[in-house]
Amino acid sequence: MNFKKDLLVLLTALGVLILSVLGYVALSSGFFGVKPLVPAEEDREKAIPELKQNAAGVEYPATPKLTLNSEIKDWFTPEENDDGWDYDLFTTIDIAWDPSQAEYVPANKKVIPLPPFGISLVSVGHPTYPYVLRSTVAGKSGKEEDREFSIENTLTKEWFEKCRLKRPLNDKTPVYPQEYKVVKQADGFQQKILVLDDRLLGRKVAINDEKPLEFKDTIDVVITATDDPSKSWTFHNKGDDFKYEKAQYIIKDIDLVNKTVTVEKKYVLDPKKGQRSDQQVLSLPVPVDPKSALPTSKEKAKTNLTK
């Protein structure tokens, strides 16, 4: 190792470093008439003309405001936000069975009451023709066109006397007796039959002197509103339907033997749950026995004791 050579190299490097520092300071300070690399704050706009110009670029257009259709309904709130909803991550929710919605719901949630079915059955069966032949008398002339008939309307309890063939029962009742005959029955008795041309029904009907005639080819189902008996509907076939109080009722089955009618009711109880369907078998009201309404001897005794 040559000590002299190493010392010379070290001194040379040190000299170069000192000259470099002195040169940088001179250039930065503007010594020796050299323009500084970075001008002072107040001279920068003069030294750099670009600083006086506006910023380059294109102005971004404003985004138009979103307009909403006022007729569109808002989304339904989730069930978690309903009144009474008690949600806790670490505590189970008390639930209870709600028969109106047919499912388990939070126990403290407001329960929508189940509405009544709304209709009841008045009658079901084959419709009966109200006119019945009560009596007949041959005319004095002996001619069949002079024969007189007595006819009763069993529905209105109205009697029509001295009726004749080919003539209406009266001016307001377009029912014309057409033909009269006597038929011998299997038991030996004779049955009187009178054929009527009922222009209200648009058909001919053969009545007798025993009981009102039933139309076996037709079924009458009479239904009335429970809260308003003045509103009633008459149907004849399965599948017939009607609307009442925002609900749709459909005749599903007709049982003439048991005198019952099965009706399906479709309605919306909760808009979140959609349409609901209930089915009920309607039966005829049980007639009240007037004797059962009277107080018994034991009830009378209790009443006397309380007095």
DSSP 3-state assignment of 251? strand
- Which of 154, 97, 87 lies closest to 127 in space, CA to CA? 154
Q: How far is Cα 17 from Cα 14, in angstroms, rounded to an integer?
A: 5
Which of helix, strand or coil describes residue 138? coil
Rounded-to-integer distance, Cα 307 and Cα 295, Å = 16
Task: Give the H or E element holding residue 25.
Answer: helix 3-29
175-184, strands of its sheet edge to edge: 175-184, 190-198, 203-208
Whether the full predicted model's pTM is greater than 0.75, yes or no, is no
pLDDT in tens, 195-221: 999 999 899 999 999 889 998 888 999
Model confidence pLDDT, tens digit, residues 138-183: 888 888 888 999 999 999 999 999 999 999 999 999 999 999 999 8
Domain boundaries of the chain, sorted by first residue: 3-43, 78-114, 119-124+218-283, 128-208
Tokens found for residue 11: 């001194």
CA distances from 14 to 18, 19, 23, 99, 181 (A): 6, 9, 14, 99, 154
Look at residue 16 and tell me whether its pLDDT is greater than 60: yes
